Amino acid sequence: MKYLTALLLIFSLFSSPTRRATSHDYKKVDVDTLLAGNFSSRAILIDGNKIWYGADKSRYGYYDVVSKKHFERQFSPDSLEFRSIAQTAKSIFLLNAGSPAFLVKVDKISGKAQTVHTDDNKKIFYDSMKFWNEKEGIAMGDPVEDCLSVLVTRNGGNSWTKIPCARLPRTGEGEAAFAASNTNIVVKGNNTWIVTGGRKARVLFSPDKGKTWKLYDTPIISGKSMTGIFTADFYDSKTGFVAGGDYERPNRNQENKAVTSDGGKTWALISENKGFGYASCVQYVPKSGGRSIATVGASGLHYSNDGGKSWEQLHNDYSLFTIRFKDDSTAYAAGKEKVVRIRFKK
């Protein structure tokens, strides 16, 4: 009997949720600056050894973390701020915030860019872009009528079509989105989530790659032009996290973070009056079971290992806008005048 008891104890230690959670129980970070200069970036992605970025003054490029090569070019006109970025196997796609809008396709080998879509509506302001697969992608922006501006491609990004308002949920007066970190759109398989802010803080959901949509409310603070959801991520088709808050009151840490366990249909506030204030980007840590989350923004780099219930500041750089994980212990982030590598340590 004592041998059976011992075996059961060992099994419980290695199979309990607490034991599994400690594998990503990081307490500190090492940060290396990869690029520094007079630029600002809110749009990055990881492509093998390369960290591609879009930046202000129509600049785009990559840093190769192995060869340490830095490639950069400037698109014309040179006054654009590329805040959205996405990729397929052979191409990088960039989209600027503001009018006129240019959706640009960049060849990964040559670095040459070509315009594949434009929009000169004075109200246009695109916020985020993602691809479901090699052929199909989506971009979203603020409303110019009574719905969000949503573009889709079904031919690998060679051409883009705007979804008519008749096929999208209507936006409320003063409802829009924020080009804070290219995380207004989240895609998982065929599922798509789009988050909004301003007078309302809501989630648009499509189960079929943008063909049909449903609209769900969230308890995130809203009502003013600079309040609402600024960023979102989903670990899988059910588990998700939204954050943001009040941009004009960056230390306010209530009604600024919420979780879902049913794919975005219902949301619950979490960690009220705790943790970070305004956040511009949230990302789940890979292979963490949806328990480990990192955010960057006006409160610095914060980290949670219990699904967002408690948070710890691991880095006090308040100028990082966006973050992406390479694996479960390495991430890259960009912001004002820098692109950095972050190694998470226990």
Asked, for residue 72, whether it belongs to a domain, the answer is yes
Residue 3 has pLDDT above 90, yes or no: no
pLDDT at 322: 98
* Matching residue, tokens 């065929």: 190
Question: Mean pLDDT lowest for which of 7-11, 204-208, 301-305?
Answer: 7-11
| CATH code of residue 121 | 2.130.10.10
pLDDT at 36: 97
Question: What's the domain range around 265?
Answer: 25-345
Residue 283 has pLDDT above 90, yes or no: yes
Q: How many domains does the chain have?
A: 1
pLDDT at 189: 97
What is residue 32's DSSP assignment?
E
Give me the mean pLDDT over the 8-18 stretch: 40
Give me the mean pLDDT over the 72-98 stretch: 98
| Residue range 237-265, pLDDT digits in tens | 999 999 999 999 999 999 999 999 999 99
Asked, for residue 155, whether it belongs to a domain, the answer is yes
pLDDT at 205: 98
As a whole number, the mean pLDDT across the chain is 94
Give me the mean pLDDT over the 194-222 stretch: 98
Give me the mean pLDDT over the 170-192 stretch: 97
Asked, for residue 17, whether it belongs to a domain, the answer is no
* Radius of gyration in angstroms for the set of CA atoms belonging to the chain, rounded to a whole number: 20
Asked, for residue 10, whether it belongs to a domain, the answer is no
pLDDT at 23: 74
Residue 220, amino acid: I
Give me the mean pLDDT over the 207-222 stretch: 98
Asked, for residue 8, whether it belongs to a domain, the answer is no
Asked, for residue 5, whether it belongs to a domain, the answer is no
| Residue range 104-156, pLDDT digits in tens | 999 999 999 999 999 999 999 999 999 999 999 999 999 999 999 999 999 99
Bridge partner residues of 20 (DSSP): none
pLDDT at 13: 36
Asked, for residue 42, whether it belongs to a domain, the answer is yes
pLDDT at 11: 42
Residue 14 has pLDDT above 80, yes or no: no
Q: Do 49 and 332 touch, CB atoms closer than 8 A?
A: no
pLDDT at 333: 98
7 exposed, middle or buried (CB, 10 Å; 0-12, 13-18, 19+)? Answer: exposed
> CA 112, CA 322: separation in Å to the nearest integer?
25
Asked, for residue 15, whether it belongs to a domain, the answer is no
pLDDT at 148: 98
pLDDT at 149: 98
Q: What is the DSSP string of 117-181?
A: EEE--TT--EEEEEESSSS-EEEEE--SSSS-EEEEESSTTSS-EEPPGGGSPPPPTTEE---SS
